[in-house]
Amino acid sequence: MSETTYPNYSPGLQGVIGGVTSISKITVEESRLEYRGYNVHDLASQGSFEETAYLLLKGELPNAAELAEFNKTLDSERSIPTEVITALKSCAKGTHPMDMLKAAYSVLSGFDPDYNADPTDHDANIRKAIRILAKAPTIVTAAYQISQGKEPIAPKAGLRTASNFLYMLHGSEQDDYTELVMDASLTLYAEHTYNASTFACRVCVATLSDIYSGIVTGIGTLKGPLHGGANEEAMAMLMEIGTPENAEPWLRDALATKKKIMGFGHREYKVGDGRAIYLTEVAKEIGRRKGNTKWGDIADIMEKIMREEKNIYPNVDFPAAYAYYLLGIPIELYTPIFVMARVSGWSAHAIEQLDNNRLIRPSCIYEGKLDLKYVPIQDR
């Protein structure tokens, strides 16, 4: 269907304004992403994921006392009920990790102390969002451990989001720089305006459903490969290339045969994804620290050729792919990690929607038949 057939129709709603928000903004010409006015590069390189989550949920960066209290609250809310563990263990063998997350949050919702609160109660929604955020790494790692036939590792008091995730995944605390890389990636993935999953989340809660339903909707939307999973596919591509020596011939053949190059280009950015700059820096540094520069060397070659030949730059999923691989994170967890970060953005949008709610109900163009006469079943 062409756009000229219906001049007021935009396939995929591209360019259509779906709402007003004060949560984040993409400046396309400068490839800059801001969370509530702060450049995400500064938040990732100078702050922490918890500061960013606080900013998204409460509207301002915390001072030292506020951040300490926020971290204390997160620390107290990380554990998940045994019923959630039971639900995860009840999932069929081979269940997609994202479906396990949907199941976990669906079961978890009824255990929230504010479960019966009015869906427009702002303070209750903030409390719910903090619990959703706190429990995310516990749910992600519990689902993974169970899928591997292992018992989940409980969260450790005193560890922040990134460090607790790595602890529950590996069974031991990681070094500071490893945690820094993980933390930066969470900040960079936390929010991204009216993307598909965020919009779906807002549509859900706009019916006066609750935040947990919005989160489950977001997870279901992110599961689709046209939205989530790009970092998984980028790592599969890097593994197919295999060595720095193979990078240029592989890429030139891919360009000649019009093969999709994963992790490059972005619909919202024309001169590079600003989120990728800092993550590329720390991803390559973690490789040097671990004595494995292969992935960074492949990346250097690909970035140079793509820039020179196509004027296309890497997006955030490209460095995230090999950064996570170097951190020993299984590839099937890359998209669940996206959830672990994005629940902060989804929650912020759900709260913003519910604070000034109007049901989201767009129009459509009907192309079917009209004025048909009903024929009794015995005559059909």
The residue annotated as part of the active site, out of 317, 349, 355, 371, is 317
> Directed axis angle between helix 82-90 and helix 97-109, to 10°?
140
Residue 122 among the catalytic residues: no
| Spatial distance between the Cα atoms of 288 and 291, rounded to a whole number of angstroms | 5
| Spatial distance between the Cα atoms of 324 and 370, rounded to a whole number of angstroms | 54
> Who contacts 266 (Cβ-Cβ below 8 Å, separation ≥6)?
273, 315
Tokens 């305006």 sit at which residue?
A: 193
Residue 92: enclosing H or E segment and its boundaries? none
Residue 317 among the catalytic residues: yes
Residue 167: enclosing H or E segment and its boundaries? helix 161-170
Tokens 């992600």 sit at which residue?
A: 140
| Spatial distance between the Cα atoms of 122 and 359, rounded to a whole number of angstroms | 18
Token digits of residue 1? 């269907």
Give the C-alpha distances (Å, rounded to integers) separating 261 from 20, 106, 197, 230, 236. Answer: 33, 36, 23, 10, 11
The residue annotated as part of the active site, out of 75, 266, 273, 349, is 266
By C-alpha distance, which of 86, 82, 70 is closest to 161? 70
Residue 167 Cα to chain centre, angstroms: 20
Catalytic amino acids?
266, 317
